[in-house]
Structure 1
Amino acid sequence: MPARIRVLDDITANRIAAGEVVERPASVVKELLENSLDACAGRIEVDAEQGGKSLIRVTDDGHGMGRDDALLSLERHATSKIRSASDLTTVATMGFRGEALPSIASVSKFRLLTREPAAVAGTEIVVDGGKVKDVREAGCAPGTSIEVRALFFHTPGRRKFLRADATEWAHIEQVVRLAALARPGVDFTLRHHGQEVLRCPAAADAGARARQIFGPAWSRDVLPLEAAEDAFALSGWIGKPGISRGSRQDHHVFVNGRPVQSPAINFAILDGYQNALVRGRYPVLLLFLQIDPALVDVNVHPAKREVRFRNEPRLKEFISASVREVLHRLRPDPVEVRLEQGLHSSPSPLASPELLGGGGSSSSSSLPPPRPLPPLAKQTAFLAGQPLDLPSSLPPAIEPSDASGAGADGGGPANHDLEVKGTLLGRYIVAENREGIVLIDQEAACERVLFEQALDRLARQDASSQRLLVPETLELDPAAAAAVREHTEALEAFGFGVASLGGSTFLLDAVPATVDTQHVGDFLRDLAHDLAQGGGRGRKEAEDERIAELLARHTARLRSTLAPEEVGRLLRDLHACHLPYTCPSGRPTMILISRDELKRKFGM
């Protein structure tokens, strides 16, 4: 009986490998750029036509190759990057698998032109669909130029799945931008149909390169990050609170200079933002992680997009802590808050000293004494969906020469004073400063204050609670009952008195002091449902923050319009928070309508 299993020929094997390595024209550009960077190129030029379908050309001034190396580079698993299996544990180059060039050459009309700096002549190799057609000497500059034409012309089934030229071009442009961000010291040029689209001269550092790629305004929306711990070093920039996107389009992470996609890193970043980001939104960031190559596995996917870490829990905690530290350092300088004379507002029957920082209660505010509100014009805010300028270091509202608080005329307010005008629609506090009109969401501000007060009392193990005159018996659905049982210890730490009576029945005999005692059964039932939807137990701090967030949200919704003196206390308590710019769920607590914007709206 004839053998049914056969060894595939090299051309067929290369075309199969190309299915993993070469997904689209951008994959070709990525592989060729990695080879150029590994060749120590100082200048790289990328040309493309029809979104890379008809032409891709990558030219560099790297160390080039001799004739023998050039021919060998087209063989499968031929590489200069590693020598043995043990080298896979310490990969420090962009490429190492030795699959890219033979895979690309097998599905295109391929031309390689290369010369070593000391060589008199270079080498030209022409390949058609994986078959070498010509090898000859050629005159060329030092370095390497690889030309790929008619991609997938031998595999029309693959070619028909390519997207429109504009889509494929967008992917190529993104690949080049990532390579430029990874290596700021390299000069990059990108052209489409001969027209220059991107030009990035060699930059002094990553910050300068980021401004080349994203524009000068980018630096106003981010905060610098620098952290190190044993085998880890993290640097770069993260978006300010409230600056977010609907996808990870502006989420750039590099590990040892390689752009990667890592669920572990993504989780750690979002965990670090905690409640400074709206759920379902993603931060703007550019981060560079340096790690011992022995602690990261880049040999996970042929395209080298994914990596795995050998000490993932420790790395995740390091990244989360680094992000949290940067956000917590974002504290603005104070200004004076003034209430306009004659300000009228209906007092709230539910406005309590616990919320507004007053005394006379066992659960009064545990935050620092009220301080003036920060210059809201310089805080994170949104106007027509666009973030406002928020420098990483805010200027003092009062110059040193005016330390007494007097203005330039000796008796007026400082330039950034906030003057409260009143309330709008029963929810928004209207204020004015020299920058324009400031709108503060009363409910979002209450949520932030209540949230941080709850966590502060928890940290001091001072959970003030109020006993119910008549304990309530609650019958919960199975999911909510499971959530209460799982979080019973944490709920008690916040001041709840809840005990299981068996099955899905619970007895509630105490609630936190900030909770209104009316309808407490519905309150706990809603809280349990929210906990059930939030998933199982995670990091202890995250569990506490989740309960504090839900507690703050449910309590703040009971608040009505505040009286004038309560408005001032709320704003000062808001400023005393560690992160006054957003509510616990990440929504902004305030927005600014600038004077210039008002003039534009009125055609002035």
Structure 2
Amino acid sequence: MTDIIQLLPDHVANQIAAGEVVQRPASVVKELLENAIDANSSEIKLILKEAGKTLVQVIDNGKGMSTTDARLSFERHATSKIRSAEDLFQLNTKGFRGEALASIAAIAHVELKTKQENQELGSQIIIEGSNVKSQDVAVTPKGTSVAVKNLFFNIPARRNFLKSNTVELRHVVDEFHRVALAHPGIAFSMYHNGSELFNLPLSNYRQRVVNIFGSKTNEKLVPVEEETEVLKVSGFVGKPEYSKKTKSEQFFFVNNRFIKSPYLNHAINAAFEGLLRDGYHPTYFLNLTVDPKTIDINIHPTKTEIKFDDEHTLYAILRSAVKHSLGQFNVAPILDFESNTNLNTPYNFKDKEGATPVIEIDRSFNPFADEVGQKQPQQRSYTKPPTQDWESLYVGLESKSTKSQGDFKEMTFESESKDQSIFKSEDIALEKTTYQLRQKFIVSTIKSGMLIIDQNRAHQRILYENLLKQLTSKEAITQQLLFPLQLNFSNTDVEMLSQMQNDLEHAGFVFSEFSADEITVTGVPVGVPESEVTIVLEQLISDVENDVPDQNFSASDLLAKSMAKSLAIKTGQSLNVEEQEHLLNSLFACKEPAVSPSHKTTFITLGVEDIEKKFM
């Protein structure tokens, strides 16, 4: 029997590793930015073309590499971060697996330029699909420049799975945010298709957050500081009134490394318990510092998940620290058992001296005089009425009685209406044809039995078809605002909305200005309340990030779905009979009443036979 097990060639092994490390352009951005940070850079520049599909280039001013190191860096499991297995539990750097550059070079065209500070000339290496095309001496400034071109050029199936440029750019920006927030001591800049998206100078942590998410973010932040033997917490949480319906502004950093932890996220939600509206999520930017020996980072290829030795202690400390900050800055109500509010001095009496009380004595007061008077009550005189001539009391009584009886004969009495029977006959038509169940479902009778409608999904279908018709015909009616709305968004959100400006205007929105982190709205579609404009646009941004499958779906369809989701009647909203019937009739006037825009069932029918089976 022949042997069937063989070693894989290096280029095949690299492509398999690339499937774990490189999933989209954002993965390349993350690996290259982390390498630039490990090189002790003070300035890092990120350049993109077509959301990274055509070009991802990272330029830093770090310590650079020698000619030998530059060539060796593209080999599998080649790293300068660790020497032995014990080093995995003392990690203070980013990339340590030694697979990033080798994986990237296996599926793209890579050009590397690097030079050390004490060298006059640097090195240039060009690799295409793990094949080294050239290695030459080059004139280049101090540091390293890595250009990754034509991602997935040799794996077309993987390239076809990439989303639209808008979605891919959003993923790249998310990775850029995570790295830039973790290192405020490094200056970052980002360019896309020749335009500058971010220019983040050297700053402290609060300034870095404000520079990324807009100037209005400064007033939303509440500082959090706590230091124990186990954990040190620093950073900021957002005030409850500025919470969002998306989780786009939730950042955990452990030892300057971004992580995802549902368990610790639950601790933050527990601290905000009772302060947030339903469906809203808190904002936080928290740095956690722990002993590297107590965590295991090497459990996920992207290193975004970390295993802690004692999660329960971290949970309790984090929850208490956040709750204490919310109470300390008067964001949440607190009880202070050590202070007595009765002893607080009013502001009006702060600088006044205490006055000596004056005692007044009534010297004419005699307490015994009242008691004597009470013992001797006044005597009342009573005179007995005379009893003679008592017959005169009945004189004329008979005539008055006769007259009054005549008046009573002419009097009419209002008769009370007879009570109707509590059991209505079958021939009496019921006035109420629909009923609302638990403020979520609308129940109506049909010939075959019973109809149950989900009011939220049904209204989404109605709004979706109406909005799609307006967007297609471009005949939406706009309601002009008396006072323009100035809404604050991050730079990338403003860029995303500006790209969809034409579709938004066809839906009825009117914009007068797009600035770096602010937009001005002067008109809204009819039926959209002024207070709902921010919610509609935030929902639209979230849908663009997550829900667009590819470029074949039109922006009009996405906008109609997003606005319908935001403006639809919510579960828990009470409807009167007229509103219930209008919703029922409008639903069955739609082209596809059976499903919502997200392809979920809007109604079910329950036949008489099904009901009778329940009584068997």
> What TM bracket, shorter-length normalisation?
0.5 to 0.7
Which residue does 1:226 correspond to in 2? 225
**CA apart distance, 1:367:** 13
Which residue does 1:268 correspond to in 2? 267
**Aligned ranges for residues 473-552 of structure 1 at < 5 Å?**
none
**Within 2, Cα distance between the matches of 1:166 and 1:332?**
37
**Within 2, Cα distance between the matches of 1:210 and 1:13?**
40
Residues 300 and 307, structure 1, Cα contact 8 Å, conserved in 2: yes
**Aligned ranges for residues 14-413 of structure 1 at < 5 Å?**
14-203=14-203, 205-331=204-330
SS at match of 2:316: helix
SS at match of 2:65: coil
**CA apart distance, 1:403:** 5.6
**Within 1, Cα distance between the matches of 2:97 and 2:178?**
21
Residues 239 and 331, structure 2, Cα contact 8 Å, conserved in 1: no
**Within 1, Cα distance between the matches of 2:218 and 2:349?**
31
Task: Go from structure 1 to structure 2 and tell me whether the alpha carbon gap of 1:230 and 1:133 turns closer, same or farther (over 3 Å shift).
Answer: same
SS at match of 2:241: coil
Residues 275 and 332, structure 2, Cα contact 8 Å, conserved in 1: no
SS at match of 1:76: coil
Q: Taking structure 1 as the reference length, what is the TM-score of the superposition? A: 0.55
SS at match of 1:242: helix
Give the partner amino acid of 2:28.
V
**CA apart distance, 1:264:** 2.0
**Within 1, Cα distance between the matches of 2:317 and 2:278?**
22
Residues 326 and 332, structure 2, Cα contact 8 Å, conserved in 1: no
Out of 313-322 and 207-216, give the one that drifted further.
207-216
**Within 2, Cα distance between the matches of 1:262 and 1:105?**
31
Give the partner amino acid of 1:177.
H
Residues 241 and 327, structure 1, Cα contact 8 Å, conserved in 2: no
**CA apart distance, 1:7:** 1.2
Out of 148-157 and 236-245, give the one that drifted further.
236-245
Give the partner amino acid of 1:173.
V
Give the partner amino acid of 1:216.
S
SS at match of 1:282: coil
**CA apart distance, 1:274:** 2.3
Q: RMSD across aligned C-alpha pairs, in angstroms?
A: 2.7
**Within 1, Cα distance between the matches of 2:163 and 2:305?**
24
**Within 2, Cα distance between the matches of 1:333 and 1:55?**
48
**CA apart distance, 1:138:** 0.6
Out of 47-56 and 277-286, give the one that drifted further.
277-286
Give the partner amino acid of 1:183.
H
Give the partner amino acid of 2:285.
L
Residues 233 and 290, structure 1, Cα contact 8 Å, conserved in 2: yes
**Within 1, Cα distance between the matches of 2:149 and 2:101?**
14
**Within 2, Cα distance between the matches of 1:142 and 1:20?**
32
**CA apart distance, 1:277:** 2.4
SS at match of 1:74: coil
Q: Deviations over 1:239-271 (max 9, x none)?
A: 123331222111011111111111221121112
Task: Go from structure 1 to structure 2 and tell me whether the alpha carbon gap of 1:122 and 1:278 turns closer, same or farther (over 3 Å shift).
Answer: same
Task: Go from structure 1 to structure 2 and tell me whether the alpha carbon gap of 1:333 and 1:181 turns closer, same or farther (over 3 Å shift).
Answer: closer
Task: Go from structure 1 to structure 2 and tell me whether the alpha carbon gap of 1:41 and 1:327 turns closer, same or farther (over 3 Å shift).
Answer: same
**CA apart distance, 1:125:** 0.7
**Within 1, Cα distance between the matches of 2:138 and 2:284?**
45
Task: Go from structure 1 to structure 2 and tell me whether the alpha carbon gap of 1:80 and 1:285 turns closer, same or farther (over 3 Å shift).
Answer: same
Residues 109 and 151, structure 2, Cα contact 8 Å, conserved in 1: yes
Task: Go from structure 1 to structure 2 and tell me whether the alpha carbon gap of 1:401 and 1:214 turns closer, same or farther (over 3 Å shift).
Answer: farther
**Within 2, Cα distance between the matches of 1:322 and 1:294?**
23
**CA apart distance, 1:218:** 0.7
Give the partner amino acid of 1:174.
D
**CA apart distance, 1:333:** 13
Q: Deviations over 1:52-100 (max 9, x none)?
A: 0001110000010001111111010100001111111111101110010
SS at match of 2:240: coil
Which residue does 1:531 correspond to in 2? none
Task: Go from structure 1 to structure 2 and tell me whether the alpha carbon gap of 1:333 and 1:369 turns closer, same or farther (over 3 Å shift).
Answer: farther
Give the partner amino acid of 2:145.
S
Q: Deviations over 1:266-312 (max 9, x none)?
A: 12111222222234421011111111111111111111111111111
Which residue does 2:402 correspond to in 1? none
Which residue does 1:569 correspond to in 2? none
SS at match of 2:97: coil
Residues 189 and 200, structure 2, Cα contact 8 Å, conserved in 1: yes
Give the partner amino acid of 1:75.
E
Query: Any unmatched runs of 5+ in structure 2?
Result: 353-437, 439-529, 531-616
**Within 2, Cα distance between the matches of 1:303 and 1:70?**
23
**Within 1, Cα distance between the matches of 2:220 and 2:265?**
20
Task: Go from structure 1 to structure 2 and tell me whether the alpha carbon gap of 1:332 and 1:4 turns closer, same or farther (over 3 Å shift).
Answer: closer
Residues 252 and 259, structure 2, Cα contact 8 Å, conserved in 1: yes
**Within 1, Cα distance between the matches of 2:228 and 2:341?**
36
**Within 1, Cα distance between the matches of 2:68 and 2:14?**
20
Which residue does 1:2 correspond to in 2? 2
**CA apart distance, 1:368:** 10
**CA apart distance, 1:150:** 0.3
SS at match of 2:246: coil
Q: Sequence identity, in percent?
A: 39
Report how many residues are paired.
350
Residues 235 and 288, structure 1, Cα contact 8 Å, conserved in 2: yes
Q: Deviations over 1:181-200 (max 9, x none)?
A: 11111111100112111101
Give the partner amino acid of 1:261.
K
**Within 2, Cα distance between the matches of 1:158 and 1:122?**
34
Residues 77 and 97, structure 1, Cα contact 8 Å, conserved in 2: yes
Out of 187-196 and 236-245, give the one that drifted further.
236-245
Give the partner amino acid of 1:192.
H
**Within 1, Cα distance between the matches of 2:349 and 2:264?**
47
Which residue does 2:454 correspond to in 1? none
